[in-house]
Structure 1
């Protein structure tokens, strides 16, 4: 059977107990959607991984090697999500950085999540989370390994009809969903929250911003979101999802959402592949 997980290039499914990623969340990860052997957003993922490694002072892995390992773990899978995890590696106790770090890389393949056709057509239901994201500009934008805020936010509901939750910062400004970035059309302007204080700058978000140069990045209040004419989520794994409702506020998928769904399809993804 083909290995579905490689650790430092070798088939394995366990990491050392003294790895700093396990001990301190000292690392990063990328979740990359593959269609066959094609990953339409690969270059964006690699750019974010490289930039984040530089910010955390972790030696970045070789992207050509990551590509070869990704192709190995997805062999014979028509659809897959490849998670690439990079940690600072094994270290002594304490927070001090190792003098000569030996980063660990984990490349693993999983079946993509099932997303109902109705989610792409009619949209998803959301709620506003009680949890507030802490602000830390030195970590903002990165997909670092500490996802406890998202874990606790997602634990706030168990209603299967609710697909996502809106996360705000400590000042009540909208930042994102728990697993996706968020866009809203407010007074005719496409707006997405600034992520210089907290939140993850998704690669799908970057793709939407490149496709819509008129979009603005800035502050988005909850009142403005509730008054928006169109709201959608962007995710490199799930694509472009319209928002059908946020608590008691109902929305309808708009023209811009449909245009971006078509753009997503033209990149090499399709709604049928998600279901």
Structure 2
């Protein structure tokens, strides 16, 4: 079941002059819903605020977003909430209008099947040929320009492959088409920095904080293929899946039991626990 709210009204129509359609001039968040409530709401709103600041875009009122999120998720036990904010309608050309009227769009989806890593102990992934976009102004935020991920996701149709890793122009691994990557060497974790490219995922931030509480070092740094080849294990995170241990990357196999499994459980539990958003 799909429901759509546009500026607070239950409708799925959008002006053809909207800058989100013309230029990808906007932001979005994908939020897990459990028991009719959002997970990691405050983290998603914090990243939305960061993106709005980067784009010079007025962020909608948190209270309005909270009220509309509660309305659209009413009766939805488990699913996803997609929150989109665009700069609204503007004239022809890249220059934003002097007095924009940002538009907010909320979409709720019932749960859809996703790969179950417990079925085989982990997921199978691959490398993508499509490079990840590099732009320091856009790195970390969830803007509407995702064509690099779209092109990368077109590279395979094997249902056994859950995700593809993307590299930047220097050949360093940025993350997956829709996930953040963590590399375990048996003692410490490393995850790609998101200063040049990639996404500052909400569950990524949960993982960083959970590792710190557990006394496990986690370094944000460039990740090379060589580091992955020499690693003990890998796992992926995002808001929809929580945590995916990796069982195989291309021809390289991994034993998920060698990962810090207690930490992964803590991350998954924190990422998928519903809570009412702050007023």
TM-score w.r.t. structure 1 length?
A: 0.93
Partner of residue 26, structure 1: 25
- Asked if structure 1 preserves the Cα contact closer than 8 Å seen for 2:18 and 2:87, the reply is yes
Distance of aligned partners of 1:36 and 1:174 in 2 relative to their CA distance in 1, 3 Å threshold: same
SS in 2 for 1:77: coil
Partner of residue 221, structure 2: 218
- Asked if structure 2 preserves the Cα contact closer than 8 Å seen for 1:204 and 1:239, the reply is yes
State the Cα distance separating 1:118 from its structure 2 match.
3.8
CA RMSD of aligned residues (A): 1.7
State the Cα distance separating 1:256 from its structure 2 match.
4.3
Aligned pairs (5 A) from 1:39-58: 39-58=38-57
Partner of residue 150, structure 1: 149
Distance of aligned partners of 1:258 and 1:112 in 2 relative to their CA distance in 1, 3 Å threshold: farther
- Asked if structure 2 preserves the Cα contact closer than 8 Å seen for 1:29 and 1:86, the reply is yes
Whole-angstrom distance in 2 between the partners of 1:195 and 1:230 = 21
Query: Unpaired segments of 5 or more residues in structure 2?
Result: 274-279
Partner of residue 124, structure 1: 123
Residue 261 (str. 1) matches residue 264 (str. 2): yes
Partner of residue 273, structure 1: none
Distance of aligned partners of 1:67 and 1:256 in 2 relative to their CA distance in 1, 3 Å threshold: farther
Q: Deviations over 1:188-222 (max 9, x none)?
A: 22000011101111101011011112211001101
Partner of residue 34, structure 2: 35
Q: Deviations over 1:9-53 (max 9, x none)?
A: 011111110000000000000000011133231110000001110
Distance of aligned partners of 1:118 and 1:186 in 2 relative to their CA distance in 1, 3 Å threshold: closer
Whole-angstrom distance in 2 between the partners of 1:232 and 1:120 = 16
TM-score w.r.t. structure 2 length?
A: 0.92
Partner of residue 192, structure 2: 193
Q: Deviations over 1:68-125 (max 9, x none)?
A: 1111111111102100000000000001111011000001101233134345761110
Residue 77 (str. 1) matches residue 80 (str. 2): no
- Residue 236 of structure 1 is aligned with which of 230, 239, 242? 239
Whole-angstrom distance in 2 between the partners of 1:58 and 1:121 = 44
Whole-angstrom distance in 2 between the partners of 1:257 and 1:79 = 28
Partner of residue 97, structure 2: 98
SS in 2 for 1:11: coil
State the 4+ residue runs in structure 1 displaced beyond 6 angstroms.
Answer: none
Whole-angstrom distance in 1 between the partners of 2:138 and 2:127 = 23
Whole-angstrom distance in 1 between the partners of 2:149 and 2:84 = 18
- Asked if structure 2 preserves the Cα contact closer than 8 Å seen for 1:226 and 1:246, the reply is no
Partner of residue 168, structure 1: 167
SS in 2 for 1:50: helix
Distance of aligned partners of 1:6 and 1:47 in 2 relative to their CA distance in 1, 3 Å threshold: same
Partner of residue 277, structure 2: none
- Residue 247 of structure 1 is aligned with which of 244, 247, 250? 250
- Asked if structure 2 preserves the Cα contact closer than 8 Å seen for 1:28 and 1:87, the reply is yes
